[in-house]
Amino acid sequence: MGAGFALFGCVGVFANDPVASSGGEGAEAKKEFNAGELIMEHIGDSHDWHVWGHTHLPLPVILKTPGGWEFFSSSHLMHGESHTGSHGTYALNHKDKMTVVDAHGSTDEEATAALIDFSITKNVATLLMCAVLMCVLFIGMARGYAKRGVSAPKGLATFLEPVILFVRDDIAKNSIGEKHYRRFTPYLLTLFFFIWFLNLIGLIPIFPFGGNVTGNIVTPLVLAAATFLIVSFVANWHYWRHILAMPGIPLPVLVILTPIEIMGHFIRPIVLMVRLFANIMAGHIVLLVFFCLIFIFSKNGESLVGGYATSIFAVAFTIFINCLELLVGALQAYVFTLLTAIYIGTAVHEPHHAHAEHH
């Protein structure tokens, strides 16, 4: 699936470039294949969705300006064009970021800085699609159990129920403890399936899939921030005492140890964010790099022998890497959820004497 994602991307770039695809007026007129530009285009976000060839699906542009709201389609911004709305003129820069331009087409930095972009980009649309998919699946499962009671699962629930039980028993219960795990299980289940589904969606090459959402640092950042806030708010006195002034440690050592413990509290969500972002981003880049080798060795279409010879190995390695990515997608969801459960378990852990009194 990831192999197809890379191949469709490469074909789409050449199909959209009349000079590169037609050959121009000579060898000098051909546009050189830029692997880096292609890779960055496909792992980044955009205000439209490339379907195939010249076909792009425009997405809604929603802007909050000092003068008011702007609503229009991204089709007005295709091919470097600008669009004049009720409160200004807008265009996309080379990084596909929304900017305000003046009458001469130059970027108005002050107006751009005041612009707030609420547009439905490709990644936002993928997030919404994933959320709807999860609601449909799990609400449907819940209704099924409500009708037939506790019995053998049917349909998709046959596959999902063991995964749910695994997250509940092997991650939440083991990491947080018998007393507190139930109130955090819904969050951990949502976290696991949300990350896992997004990772799988990113490996499906056909529209409306293929969005590199978890490979965009914003998504792991928000998920890690949610975990950080939960840990900070549910943490008990025992947890904060061990961070600020660990019992039994001499004061001179606390001067060194306490800043380290405080830093550790803030470093944990950063580790969560970087781990998920780097692994998913690297997977997409590796898949695309292998397919780009076909175009690089074909020397921009001039050496068909080199292209065909390279394609055999490129496709084989891409399929192999794609199989690994299917495993990595599930593994990263598991690791993120497990570390979150461990952090929560550490925050709500009670002293041994309090635990003994409870029993």
Taking only the tens place, the pLDDT of each residue in 157-214 is 788 899 999 999 999 999 998 889 999 999 999 999 999 999 999 888 777 787 889 9
- Regarding whether 203 and 73 lie in a shared domain, the answer is no
So what's the pLDDT on residue 1? Answer: 47
pLDDT band, residue 223 (cuts 50/70/90): very high
Q: Which residue, 119, 139, 163, sits at the end of a domain? A: 119
Instruction: Specify whether 96 is located in the same domain as 137.
Output: no
CA pair distance 72, 59, nearest whole angstrom: 9
Query: Which residue, of 119, 139, 169, is where some domain finishes?
Result: 119
Report how far residue 89's alpha carbon sits from residue 82's, in angstroms, rounded to the nearest whole number.
Answer: 7
Contacts of 308 (CB under 8 A, 6+ apart): 298
- Considering the domain boundaries, does residue 100 fall inside one? yes
Boundary (domain end) residue, out of 119, 137, 153: 119
Q: Interior CA angle at 144 toward 138 and 146, to 5°? A: 105
Question: Which of 310, 313, 316 has its CA nearest to residue 298?
Answer: 310
Q: What is the pLDDT of residue 16?
A: 42
Number of structural domains in the chain: 2
Give the C-alpha separation, 340 to 232, whole Å: 12
* C-beta separation of 86 from 68 below 8 A: yes
Residue 71 domain flag: yes
**Distance of CA 344 to CAs 173, 198, 234, 238, 279, Å?**
11, 24, 8, 13, 23
**What tokens appear for 152 in the block?**
């053998």
Same domain, 105 and 143: no
**Are 130 and 275 part of one and the same domain?**
yes
Task: Indicate whether 94 pLDDT > 80.
Answer: no
| 206 shares a domain with 73 | no
In terms of domains, do 301 and 216 share one? yes
In angstroms, the Cα distances linking 242 to 179, 229, 300, 341 are 21, 18, 61, 19
- Backbone φ and ψ for 60, nearest 5 degrees, come out as -70, 135
The residue written with tokens 């306490």 in the block is 258
Q: Are 261 and 129 in a shared domain?
A: yes
Range of the domain at 78: 60-119
Residue 40 lies in a domain: no
Domain presence at residue 10: no
In a domain, 306, yes or no: yes
Angstrom distance (rounded) from CA 34 to CA 75: 25
Is 36 inside a domain boundary? no
Q: How many whole angstroms from its chain centre is CA 29? A: 38
Same domain, 147 and 106: no
Task: Give 171's DSSP letter.
Answer: I
Whether residue 186 is found in the same domain as residue 273: yes
> Are 69 and 163 in a shared domain?
no
Q: Give me the chain's average pLDDT, please.
A: 82
Determine which of 131-135, 306-310, 327-331 has the lowest per-residue pLDDT on average: 306-310
Return the number of other C-beta atoms located less than 10 Å from residue 29's C-beta.
11
In a domain, 314, yes or no: yes
pLDDT at site 12: 43
Entry pTM: 0.82
Both 101 and 233 in a single domain? no
Whether residue 1 is contained in a domain is answered as no
pLDDT tens for 234-285 read 998 888 888 888 888 888 888 888 899 899 999 999 999 999 999 998 888 8
Token pair for residue 118? 């609420």
At residue 127, the 3 state secondary structure works out as: helix
* 77 shares its domain with 183: no
Share of the chain above pLDDT 70, in %: 86
